[in-house]
Amino acid sequence: MPRPRKELVCLEDTPYYHVVSRCVRRTFLCGIDTTSGKNYEHRRQWIVNRMRLIASLFAVEIYSYAVMSNHFHIVLKLCPEQTEQWTPTEVLERWTSLYKGPLLLQRFIAGVALQPPELETVNSCIKIYRKRLGDLSWFMKCLNEPIARKANKEDQCTGHFWEARFKSQALRSDKALLSCMTYVDLNPIRATIANTPEESDYTSIQERIAPCFDLATAIQEQTEPQSLMHFNLPLKALAPFKETGSDEDSTGIPFSFKDYLQLVDYTGRMIRGDKRGFIPGHLPPILKRIQFDPKQWVESATQFEKHFYQRFGRTTLIRNAS
């Protein structure tokens, strides 16, 4: 019997988790179905886009991801302490980008004068939303449910798209974190759908090597009512690496990006008996293949928001709850 999620996710033990969601019956509902011949590859971009937008609303840091034909992996860090730093206005802006909320909350946002008991109810809602925005289960719910509805609408059918619930795995050490990130970034290579990390579509390592995320398109494709059309925040970057010489107290992945690339390349060349794919041995090292420039990468990583600063939001201002 599956264990309750509260027993699997304990922030006192670790904030790092590896999560996996699979399509029902492991069918290729996000790839090319070899049985029917139908191509669902475009749905992989749906998942990447929504994941990146949702992560910008939640107190979650994305460390690595890989979207495959019938499942996806995410390595992430939960940061619920960040929600305590958000003002009531920020909490409402984030939550109402996902859901309209009850009628009383809509009246409050619209600027209608409320009675003290009604304001107390609004504050109670804000307290609930603040907790949800740092919760793994709510993050996955907001990611998976709209994807399932959109896919079912496209297929003109009903029923489950994902398996009953996502799987989560706690990563309790730096070694476990780096091992899992490497495993996730090498998924397309082990599955023989890519030869190198830089050619692995819909993965975090490809995005880090050559960022090409289209924020405007990602928002516009959220076609459901009240589905991120009021997204009013800059896109959050993938979790940064701690570069050589950086502050020891700084947050981020406890590794340099250069070393991580070499680790992934080295691991990907190892031949595994249970997997068909590996990086061909005749290829030059990854740093040579991608012409890696440490200074240029650090500048790009530290100035990410300059490239994705455009905001899409409502004109109505949400007042501070008092």
- Least confident window among 77-81, 233-237, 262-266, 285-289: 233-237
Whether the per-residue pLDDT at 93 is higher than 90: the answer is no
CA–CA gap between residue 237 and residue 234 (Å, rounded): 9
User: Does residue 194 contact residue 186 with C-beta atoms inside 8 Å?
Assistant: no
- Least confident window among 74-88, 208-222, 303-317: 303-317
pTM: 0.87
Mean pLDDT, residues 37-61 = 94
- Tokens at 280, concatenated: 């061909």
Whose CA is closest to 31, among 277, 22, 163?
22
DSSP codes of every residue in 233-268? SPPPPPPPB--TT--TT--SBSS-HHHHHHHHHHHH
What is the pLDDT confidence band of residue 142, given thresholds at 50, 70 and 90?
very high
- Fold for 5-86+133-307, please state it: Alpha-Beta Plaits (3.30.70)
pLDDT (0 to 100) of residue 212: 83
What is the pLDDT confidence band of residue 74, given thresholds at 50, 70 and 90?
very high
Query: Mean pLDDT across the chain, nearest whole number?
Result: 85
User: Does residue 308 contact residue 233 with C-beta atoms inside 8 Å?
Assistant: no
- Which of the given ranges, 3-7, 18-22, 87-91, 214-218, has the highest pLDDT on average? 18-22
pLDDT (0 to 100) of residue 310: 46
DSSP annotation of 275: -
What is the pLDDT confidence band of residue 210, given thresholds at 50, 70 and 90?
confident
Q: Strand pairing of 60-67 and 167-170?
A: unpaired
DSSP annotation of 65: E
**Terminal alpha carbon distance of the chain:** 45
More confident residue, 231 or 57: 57
DSSP codes of every residue in 5-52? HHHH--TTT-SEEEEEEEBGGG--TTSB-TTT--B-THHHHHHHHHHH
- Tokens at 322, concatenated: 């008092």
pLDDT (0 to 100) of residue 10: 79
Strand partners, 251: none
pLDDT (0 to 100) of residue 314: 40
- The residue extents of the domains of the chain are 5-86+133-307, 87-132
Mean pLDDT, residues 56-65 = 96
